[in-house]
Amino acid sequence: MNANDARRGVTAELARLLPAPAERELPEGRRHTVREHLMNEIRLARTPSAGPPVTRRRRSAIAIVVAGAAVLAAAIALTVLPGSSSGASPAAARLLAEIATAAAAQPSPHVRADQFWYIESWVAYQFCVAGPGGTCTMEKPHERQIWQSVSNQCVTGLLREHGQDTPLTFSSNYLHCPYRGNVNAPTYWLLRSLPTDPSALLRLIEQQMSGQLPRPEEAFTTIGDLLRESIAPPQVSAALYRAAALIPGVSVVADATDAAGRHGVAVAFTYQGTRTEWIFSKQSLHYLGERDVALANGSAIGEAAVLRRAFVDHVGQLPG
C-alpha cells in the first residue's frame, strides 16, 4: 500500500467512526472558556516587579482578554497508540500517530543562536468584558507577525499586529540571562532540549503547567500553544503529538476550517461548552491552525491559521 492509499484509508475510517459533530443547544448564558491569548502583550502589561510573565492560557470563565508545510516524501506509517479511558479516543490516537510520523519526517533546520524565529498568522479572537452587563465581541480577522530570539528570552523581540510594532521583552528581575524559557514561554533552544519520549514529555509539561484548569484541559492547552506559535525540532514536534494522544478526552473532528478558510481534519478537546480544535491538512497532515468553537451555537470564538514559519537573522526581517 502506498502513502496516498494509506492516507485515504485512514480518512475514510475516521469519517466512518467519527462524523462531524452536530451543533447542539446549551442553556443561554453558559459560561464558555475563552482564550487568554497573546502571551507577549500580557508580558508587556506587567510591571518589572510583578514577577514571572503570564503565559498564553485559557481560563474557565469569562475574563478580560488582552488583545493581542510540502507533501510527505515518505509513506505515513499507520502506527497505533493505545486508545482507552486513560488516553485519547482510538481514532484520535491513530490520527495523532500519523501526524507525529509526518512531523518527524520533516528536515531538521540549521539554526544559529543569534537568529530569531518568525511566525506569521491570520487570527481572530473573542474579547469579553467581565462583570454585570459584560459583553463578548469577535474581533475582525487580521495578520499577526512575531519575531523571537531562538536562544534567549532576554533578547528583545517584536510583535507586529493591528498596524503597530510592539517590542517584546522580559523583565530581568526574576530570571538570569540568558534565559531559554519554559514550556509556557519557550525558545527554540528550550524546545530542542525537551524529551522525545511522549510519557516523559507529558510529565514535564504537567509539572510546568500553571494549574488554572483541570489537568487534561491544561495539558491540551499547553501543547496547543506550543503548536500554534513556536517552532520545534521535528522529533520534538512528533513527541508533542504522541504526548497529546495520552490525554484523556481527546477526540477527532472529521472536517474543520481554520481562520484562512482551509479545510482539514482536527484533533479536539471539549471543556465547559467550548471545543478546541487543532486543524491539520488531510493531504500532508501538517498543522494548519486552531479554532475554538462554542457548542451552544456552533460559532467560532477564536481561530488562528499559521501561514509561515521560518528562521531569520534579525528582528523585522521577512523570510525569503
Query: 251 CB contacts (<8 Å, ≥6 apart)?
Result: 18, 88, 89, 91, 92, 267, 268, 269, 270
Please choose, from the candidates 260, 205, 207, 251, the residue with its C-alpha nearest in 3D space to the C-alpha of residue 69. 260
Angle at 69 between CA 217 and CA 262, to 5 degrees: 70
Mean pLDDT value of segment 102-116: 97
Residue 35 has pLDDT above 50, yes or no: no
Judged against a pLDDT cut of 70, whether residue 39 lies above it is answered with no
Tens of pLDDT, residue by residue over 272-291, are 999 999 999 999 999 999 99
| 101 closest CA partner among 68, 75, 64, 139 | 75
Residue 210 is predicted with a pLDDT of 67
CA distance 18 to 15: 5
Residues 6 or more apart whose Cβ sits within 8 Å of residue 36: 42, 54, 56, 57, 58, 59, 63, 65, 66
Q: Work out the pLDDT band at 169, boundaries 50, 70, 90.
A: confident
Q: What is the mean pLDDT of the chain?
A: 78
Q: How far apart are CA 309 and CA 62, in angstroms?
A: 31
Picking from 14, 35, 80, the residue whose alpha carbon sits closest to that of residue 221 is 35
pLDDT exceeds 70 at position 32: no
Check residues 200 and 210 and name the one with the higher pLDDT.
Answer: 200
CB contact at 8 A, 274 and 293:
yes
What average pLDDT score do residues 228-247 get?
A: 97
pLDDT of residue 270: 96
- Condensed to tens digits (0 to 9), the pLDDT of residues 172-196 reads 666 688 999 999 899 999 999 999 9
